[in-house]
Amino acid sequence: MRVHKNLMGIALATTAMSFSLAGGALANDDVQGLISDSKNWAIQTGDYANTRYSKLNKITKDNVKNLQVAWTFSTGVLRGHEGGPLIVGDVMYVHAPFPNTVYALDLNNDGKILWRYEPKQDPNVIPIMCCDTVNRGVAYGDGKIFLYQADTTLVALDAKTGKVAWSVKNAEVIDGSKGESGTSAPMVVKDKVIVGISGGEFGVRGSLTAYNIADGKQAWRAWSMGSDKETLIDPEKTTHLGKPVGADSGTNTWEGDQWKIGGGTTWGWYSYDPKLNLIYYGTGNPSTWNPSQRPGDNRWSMTIMARDADTGMAKWLYQMTPHDEWDYDGVNEMILADGIEIEGKPRDVLVHFDRNGFAYTMDRATGELLVAKKYDPAVNWATEVDMDKDSKTYGRPKVVDKYSTQVQGEDVNTTGICPAALGTKDQQPAAYSPKTKLFYVPTNHVCMDYEPYKVNYTAGQPYVGATLSMYPAPNSHGGMGNFIAWDAAKGEIVWSKPEQFSVWSGALATDGDVVFYGTLEGYLKAVDKDGKELYKFKTPSGIIGNVTTYEHKGKQYVAVLSGVGGWAGIGLAAGLLAPENATAWHGAVDQGRAQGDEAAVIGTAGLGAVGGYAALADYTTLGGQLTVFTVPE
């Protein structure tokens, strides 16, 4: 690894950052203090509750129409740009997809580069990154910037200089030979930094790991499946829908040793409740995508987990999609909202918009399931979630046989399943406004055909076992996305704004009564609390990054990364619209299975997304740019 150093003698002009902490235990206080000052954007999710809400209000529903570009910055990388910049005091930290370059920019000096860090990584990591070479951003704490590289190396960089303080290998190997990769944003909690793992499509067994921020030593690791000791589950004290999970819950719903390659990876977002000292996150799909090869509920894939931040011990779990048959990863963010009135009683809740098309409202202290409703009316794979506490199937979805890939069987193309595997929402985070008590959700309005087939497991090789095609949901007039407002107490859509393509960016809600999001064509859009469009501006490339805001020298700014890619944009990002590239992709993934003529080969490449989003190439192209907006004086 190497560090490029520019202007190392310049002192960062900021009083908000504290580089002289007495010890790691104070790091959380430091981060919490920075978060509480809305001038900063000191954590990828805006706050520990994942609300993506800012108290800044100088940009309002009345003046947002006057937004102009203040400045731009190129990352120098042409792949999918997820996540967003951090703003800590007078310094902005910008990240890029592989090779995961990090830049520190001086906001007092026209965004001058204070330092850059470009890790050296084995390029063999690139082909094992399922759905583009994305990275969801860096974290700050204890005077350090934490970068989680594609090869799963977690690096602590001195925030003033960019020098490496320590680094640690999170996966078993970092050369891609086991299929492990890193795409998630770390989260600093108290004296620890939390990271997950990617690679469910390669049979990687998921885990969440905490490292001491002072020296990088592992504090705890909680596996998604395995023995009670490995999963950090107490058979008597850890509950699922209010009942103890019992012994061996992480292995006894798997056949034999399949849990060892069980998936359940943890590449989404993490939240934290300081009062309860609980970390919340979701686990991904079980491996393989062929459900006939892994009978049972496949616990604890597809699960919301609440764990003690100090020890990693699980307090409660909830499996949303037992025996997943559709690749409905459960990794989407957990949003923590206080005082949501349900049945006349205010509750402190966790709200989760799952890939499976259901939005869940839960008591975040106990894991009680309060609401579970579809947030896209097109969802058809299940009729509802059983909410009868006296039922044997309480909390389980009521699956429709017509859309069950298990019931229809291996080598059968089950058609018309809604949503598609990329879900009613993928990892693109929603926002919550405590002013309106509404959640603002970027969604996909996409369905699929799904044909599972038998595959063999080889370490480091794709372990998928399904061919997919994707297309707009019926009666949607070709639109593939909606930006919606959601009432989590009632489980109802308040309003829905259609978009031509899936809304793949993270949302932002502000005290100025403006909600922002980006589109795959590249537009930054602003709407009011009723969904009325107030402003739009087309950036150089499609937006899959998350909109952020900050204040500097008395002015409020809005910032977003553009650079089309991710799963929806993989056709453009990886060049899979070209027949020869699509053929090569299938050759690497399908274990010799024939995929038909040229149109079929292209259409089903990228796990089905290439054909579904082929028209995106008519509206945008590759890019890698940060665009910063403000209202001129």
Which residues are annotated binding-site positions for pyrroloquinoline quinone?
A: 82, 136, 183, 265
Q: Which residues contact 139 (CB under 8 A, 6 or more apart)?
A: 43, 44, 86, 145, 146, 185, 186, 187, 188, 193
- d(CA 479, CA 481) in angstroms, rounded, equals 6
User: What phi and psi values does residue 31 have, to the nearest 5 degrees?
Assistant: -65, -45
Residue 193 parent element (H or E):
strand 192-195
In the 8-state DSSP scheme, what is residue 33?
Answer: H
Residue type, 11: A
Structure tokens at 411: 């080598």
CA–CA distances in Å: residue 555 to residues 56, 110, 285: 10, 15, 43
Q: Which of 90, 132, 273, 327 is catalytic?
A: 327
CA–CA distances in Å: residue 11 to residues 2, 18, 93, 160, 464: 22, 13, 16, 8, 50
Structure tokens at 164: 């490496």
Structure tokens at 618: 């008519």
Count of all residues that appear for the chain in the document: 633
Nearest to 427 by CA among 130, 193, 85: 130
- The number of helices, as runs of H, and strands, as runs of E, in the chain is 7, 41
Does 215 qualify as catalytic in the annotation? no
Feature table: binding site: 82, 136, 183, 201, 265, 285, 327
Residue 596 parent element (H or E):
none
Feature table: binding site for Ca(2+): 201, 285, 327
Angle of CA points 428, 569, 446, to nearest 5°: 70
In a 13 Å sphere around the CA of 338, the CA atoms on its Cβ side amount to 5
- d(CA 422, CA 444) in angstroms, rounded, equals 8
Query: Which residues are known to be catalytic?
Result: 327
